[in-house]
């Protein structure tokens, strides 16, 4: 019996308790007098494991809170209390391998965007959308994202490498309450595809440009959409999406917008009815679905931010009243 109990102690989760139950039946069958002892021992094991899980959860919350406190601070802005992330200085050296190609291929397109910046007046408290053709082709973005106001600065074929190169030119002309990024071309099933490590470094550079320009603005990383056109590369694209999620989870004031599952059928294949004939770009129904997912996530995050700032301002006011 000692051998059986030793083996059980090396298991975990459901397998652990299945083995415990089996040993109990064997032991009780041989000696009914041991029933109460074994029942109490099993309850003690269950209680100990639950305490361990609770302790891990408390420690995780503590670490997260400390990290967030180190990277964020509360300040007074225009007479109001605001949550602000520390400014992050962009590391320009990361752009060297990509700059020449990006300027050659996309310089003309960026100049067109800059011309728009000079002639168009941005709405106040807008969400700035940057990235590839899914952003550029979003004809009804203003109505789809209402009541949020939007600034639309996408261009076809964008990759994180060139968005990073042009990030200051894309972001600095604007004042925005949040930044949304969708870039869908880094992984296409081609030899020149970027790795998750490369995309992470480039995405973090773009984020640092935004945080140095507008530290208070939340950043939203939108998941790359599964399409029939690139379904052969879907496993690699999923790894990229997982990395984007990890970036958001590990970076203060940065959020991941999960969309992919809504564009897959029950068999895990892309829902072609949500795409135009090229099976790469969204159609009207596809954009309506996208807008709902993005708008809800943005609304949830900004509502939390407003509530936090209101509570912080209330606490500060009570503190001032005591002085």
Is 217 in contact with 176 (CB distance < 8 Å)?
Answer: yes
Cis amide leading into 257 (omega within 30): no
Task: Check pLDDT > 80 for residue 312.
Answer: no
178-214 pLDDT, tens digit each: 999 999 999 999 999 999 999 999 999 999 999 999 9
Judge if 129 and 97 occupy the same domain: yes
Do strands 219-222 and 178-182 pair parallel, antiparallel, or not at all (unpaired)?
A: parallel
275-302 pLDDT, tens digit each: 999 999 999 999 999 999 999 999 999 9
Judge if 165 and 310 occupy the same domain: yes
Q: What is the mean pLDDT of the chain?
A: 82
At residue 173 the predicted structure's pLDDT band, cuts being 50, 70 and 90, is: very high
Is 82 in contact with 217 (CB distance < 8 Å)?
Answer: no
Task: Check pLDDT > 50 for residue 13.
Answer: no
Judge if 49 and 96 occupy the same domain: no
Helices 2-9 and 13-30: angle between axes, nearest 10 degrees: 170
Domain-embedded: residue 130: yes
Q: Which domain holds residue 38?
A: 2-69
Judge if 118 and 201 occupy the same domain: yes
Judge if 20 and 148 occupy the same domain: no
CB count, 10 Å around CB of 241? 23
Residue at a domain's end among 50, 69, 88? 69
At residue 48 the predicted structure's pLDDT band, cuts being 50, 70 and 90, is: low
Task: Check pLDDT > 70 for residue 315.
Answer: yes
Judge if 228 and 279 occupy the same domain: yes
pLDDT of residue 87: 57
Question: What gap in Å lies between CA 243 and CA 160, rounded to an integer?
Answer: 13
Is 130 in contact with 203 (CB distance < 8 Å)?
Answer: no
Judge if 256 and 143 occupy the same domain: yes
Helix (H/G/I), strand (E/B), else coil: 91: coil
- Residue with more model confidence, 27 or 310: 310
Q: Name the CA radius of gyration of the chain, rounded.
A: 26
pLDDT of residue 55: 61
213-261 pLDDT, tens digit each: 999 999 999 999 999 999 999 999 999 999 999 999 999 999 999 999 9
% of the chain at pLDDT higher than 70: 71
Over residues 306-321, mean pLDDT = 74
Domain-embedded: residue 257: yes
pLDDT of residue 27: 42
Give the single-character DSSP code of 31: -
C-alpha distances out from residue 28 to 22, 34, 145, Å: 10, 6, 65
Residue at a domain's end among 16, 38, 69? 69
Domain-embedded: residue 323: no
Judge if 292 and 215 occupy the same domain: yes
104-125 pLDDT, tens digit each: 999 999 999 999 999 999 999 9
Give the least confident one: 52-56, 272-276, 308-312: 52-56
Domain-embedded: residue 127: yes
In three state form, how does the secondary structure of 276-318 look?
CCCCCCECHHHHHHHHHHHHHHHHHHHHHHHHHHHHHHHHHHH
pLDDT of residue 72: 44
- Residue with more model confidence, 307 or 24: 307
In three state form, how does the secondary structure of 183-237 look?
CCCCCCCCCCCCCHHHHHHHHHHHHHHHHHHCCCCCEEEECCCCCCCCHHHHHHH
């Amino acid at each position: 019996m000692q051998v059986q109990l030793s083996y059980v102690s090396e298991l975990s989760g459901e397998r652990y308790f299945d083995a415990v139950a089996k040993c109990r039946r064997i032991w009780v069958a041989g000696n009914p007098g041991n029933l109460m002892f074994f029942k109490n021992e099993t309850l003690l094991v269950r209680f100990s494991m639950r305490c361990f899980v609770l302790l891990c959860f408390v420690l995780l919350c503590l670490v997260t809170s400390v990290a967030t406190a180190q990277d964020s601070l509360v300040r007074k802005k225009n007479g109001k209390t605001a949550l602000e992330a520390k400014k992050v200085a962009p590391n320009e050296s990361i752009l060297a391998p990509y700059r020449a190609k990006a300027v050659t291929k996309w310089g003309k397109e960026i100049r067109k965007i800059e011309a728009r910046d000079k002639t168009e007046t941005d709405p106040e408290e807008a969400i700035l959308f940057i990235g590839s053709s899914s952003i550029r082709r979003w004809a009804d973005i203003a109505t789809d994202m209402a009541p949020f106001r939007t600034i639309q600065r996408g261009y076809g074929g964008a990759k994180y490498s060139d968005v990073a190169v042009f990030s200051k030119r894309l972001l600095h002309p604007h004042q925005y309450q949040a930044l949304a990024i969708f870039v869908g071309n880094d992984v296409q099933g081609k030899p020149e595809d970027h790795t998750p490590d490369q995309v992470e470094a480039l995405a973090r550079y773009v984020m640092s440009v935004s945080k140095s320009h507008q530290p208070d603005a939340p950043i939203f990383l939108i998941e790359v959409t599964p399409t029939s056109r690139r379904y052969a590369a879907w496993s690699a694209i999923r790894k990229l999406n997982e990395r984007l999620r990890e970036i958001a989870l590990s970076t203060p004031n940065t959020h991941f917008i999960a969309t992919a599952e809504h564009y897959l059928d029950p068999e895990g294949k892309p829902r072609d009815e949500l795409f135009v004939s090229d099976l790469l770009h969204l159609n009207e129904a596809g954009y309506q679905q996208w807008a709902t997912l993005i708008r809800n996530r943005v609304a949830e995050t900004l509502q939390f931010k407003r509530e936090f700032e209101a509570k912080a301002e209330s606490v500060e006011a009570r503190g001032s009243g005591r002085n």
